[in-house]
Chains A and B, each alone.
Chain A
Amino acid sequence: MKTQKTKTILLVDDDTDFLDQLKLQLETRSFRVITAQSQQEAETVIRETRPDLAVLDLMLEHFDGGFSLAYQLKKADPSVPVIMVSGVAGETGIHFDAATEEERDWIRADVFLAKPIRFEQLLREINRLLG
Chain B
Amino acid sequence: MEKLPRWADLILIPAINLLIAFAISALVILAIGEDPVNAIRLMVSGALGSAYGWGYTLYYATNFIFTGLAVAVAFHASQFNIGGEGQATLGGLGVALVCLALPWPHWTLALLAASLGAALFGAAWAAIPAWLQAKRGSHIVITTIMFNFIGASLLNYILVNIMRPVGSMDPATARFPAGAKLPSLHDIPGLGLIFGKSTPANVTLFIALAACVAVWALIWHTRLGYQIRAFGKSEAAARYAGINPVKIIMVAMLISGALSGMMAINNVMGESERLVLNAVEGAGFIGIAVALMGRNHPFGVFLAAILFGFLYQGGAELALETAIPRELITVIQALVILFTGALDNMVRRPVERAFLRAGKEAQ
Real complex partners, A and B?
no
